[in-house]
Amino acid sequence: MIMTSTPTNADDRKAFYDTIGQQNLTPLWEVLHGLVTPEPVHQVQPAIWRYDDIRGHIMASGELITAKEAERRVLILENPGLPGQSKITGSLYAGLQLILPGEVAPAHRHTQSALRFVVEGEGAYTAVDGERTTMHPGDFVITPSWTWHDHGNDSDRPMVWLDGLDIPMVSFFGASFAEKWPEDSQPLSRPEGDSLARYGQGLMPEGYQARTHTSPVFNYPYARTREALEQMRIHEKWDPAQGLKLNYVNPVNGDFAMPTIGTFMQLLPKGFDGIPYRATDATVFSVVEGTGEATIGEQTFSFGPRDHFVAPSWAWYRLSASEDCVLFSFSDRPVQQKLDLWREQRGNG
C-alpha cells in the first residue's frame, strides 16, 4: 500500500502508540526534542551547605548511632533538585562522615571509588589495601575501586571528612558489587607512608606495572599541595575565572588521580574577582581557607572555611575572594573527557 497523505488524526496516533506499546515499542518523534537537547537539561540546582549550620547535626548523628552500627556514619549532601536520590550531581555522591574517638568504621570493599577530603579534626586514619594513612585537614585521600578499606580514630577529637563517590555512575552502569571483611580492621602489610615514599616524589620503582587506573599515591597531603600553590603564585599567570588551579594527577601516567572523579585545588588571592565560567562537569567545592562569594546562576552564596557548594553543569558561575581562598573541588571531568563530551566556556568579565 502506498501512503498518499500523512495521518494527522491524534486518535489514530494514540491508537497506534498503544498497539506498538504491546511490543515494547515507542515513537521517537514524541520524545526526540527532550532527549537530544541543544544545551544541557537537568534537575541539578546550585546549593550550599554552610558548616556552621550543619555541624550540630553531624555531631548529633554521633549520639544516635555508632560508626560500627551505621557501617559508615554519614550525612549525605543531597542536591535539592534531586530529592531522595542520594546525589549531589547527576553522576556523583557526596557526604560528610563523622568518626568519633575510639571508633572504627569496619572494613569493606566496593566497586565504587571514593575520595576523602578532611574537613575537621586531626589524626584519624583510613586503611587501604594493607596501609594506613593518618589524615590531616586538607589532605586528599583515595580509596580505589574494589580495595578493602576501614577507618578509625585514635585521636581524642571527632573527625569529619567529605566523602565523594561515583555511586550514581556505577549505578548507571549496573556495576555495583560490595562485600564485608570478616573483622572490623584489615591486617596491615605495609608501613605508613609507603605509597607516598615510593610513588609520590617523581620516582617509580623499577619495573612498576600499574594494575588499575587509580593513582598509587593514596594520600596527597595538604602541606605539599599548599606549598605548590604558594610557589605557583610567585610567577604563574592567573586564570581570570579559576585563579591558580592544580589538578591531582596519577604519577604513573599523568592522568587524573582517579579514573571517574577529577580532583582539583585552587588558590584565589585576596581581592580576586573572577570572570563568569561554565563547564559541563557539575562541580562540588569544599572551602579550605578564606572567605569569598560564589555566584552560581541567579544565586549568590557567601562562603567560608568548611562550607560546601555545588555548581551544576553548564550553569554560569563566578568566584570572588575577600581574603586568600583555597578551594578543593571534584567532578566527573575524567569520564566526560574520555567520552569527548567535556566543554568549558569563559564569559566576559
Which lies closer to ligand GTQ via its Cβ, residue 141 or residue 196?
A: 141
User: Can residue 165 be called a binding residue for ligand GTQ (CB under 6 A)?
Assistant: yes
User: Can residue 85 be called a binding residue for ligand GTQ (CB under 6 A)?
Assistant: no
CA distance linking residue 119 with residue 58, whole number of Å:
12
- Among candidate residues 341, 347, 346, 348, the one with its CA nearest the CA of residue 40: 341
- Which residue, judged by CB position, is nearest to ligand GTQ in the bound state? 163
Q: Are 232 and 224 contacting, i.e. CB atoms less than 8 angstroms apart?
A: no
Which lies closer to ligand GTQ via its Cβ, residue 90 or residue 95?
A: 95
Of 163, 281, 289, 307, the one binding ligand GTQ by CB under 6 A: 163
CA distance linking residue 42 with residue 223, whole number of Å:
37
* Count of chain residues binding ligand GTQ (CB under 6 A): 9
User: Can residue 139 be called a binding residue for ligand GTQ (CB under 6 A)?
Assistant: no
Contacts of ligand GTQ in 260-319 (CB under 6 A)? none
Do the bridges between strand 131-134 and strand 124-128 make them parallel or antiparallel, or are there none, so unpaired? antiparallel
User: Can residue 97 be called a binding residue for ligand GTQ (CB under 6 A)?
Assistant: yes
The rounded Cα 225 to chain-centroid distance in angstroms is 18
| Residue 334 CB, nearest approach to ligand GTQ (Å) | 20
Of 46, 95, 137, 259, the one binding ligand GTQ by CB under 6 A: 95
CA distance linking residue 201 with residue 23, whole number of Å:
60
| Residue 112 CB, nearest approach to ligand GTQ (Å) | 7
| Residue 239 CB, nearest approach to ligand GTQ (Å) | 31
User: Can residue 166 be called a binding residue for ligand GTQ (CB under 6 A)?
Assistant: no
| Residue 55 CB, nearest approach to ligand GTQ (Å) | 17
Q: Are 104 and 130 contacting, i.e. CB atoms less than 8 angstroms apart?
A: no
Residue type, 88: I
| Residue 139 CB, nearest approach to ligand GTQ (Å) | 15
Task: Give SS3 for 125.
Answer: strand
Tally of CB atoms within 10 A around 152: 21
| Residue 110 CB, nearest approach to ligand GTQ (Å) | 6
Q: Residue 305 corresponds to which cell in the numbers above?
A: 572555611
SS (H, E, C) 238-288: CECCCEEEEECECCCCCCECCCCCEEEEEEECCCCECCCEEECCCEEEEEE
User: Can residue 72 be called a binding residue for ligand GTQ (CB under 6 A)?
Assistant: yes
User: Can residue 198 be called a binding residue for ligand GTQ (CB under 6 A)?
Assistant: no
| Residue 105 CB, nearest approach to ligand GTQ (Å) | 6
CA distance linking residue 238 with residue 184, whole number of Å:
47
Q: Residue 49 corresponds to which cell in the numbers above?
A: 551547605
User: Can residue 98 be called a binding residue for ligand GTQ (CB under 6 A)?
Assistant: no
User: Can residue 74 be called a binding residue for ligand GTQ (CB under 6 A)?
Assistant: yes
User: Can residue 114 be called a binding residue for ligand GTQ (CB under 6 A)?
Assistant: yes
CA distance linking residue 72 with residue 104, whole number of Å:
9
Residues that bind ligand GTQ (CB under 6 A): 72, 74, 95, 97, 110, 114, 149, 163, 165
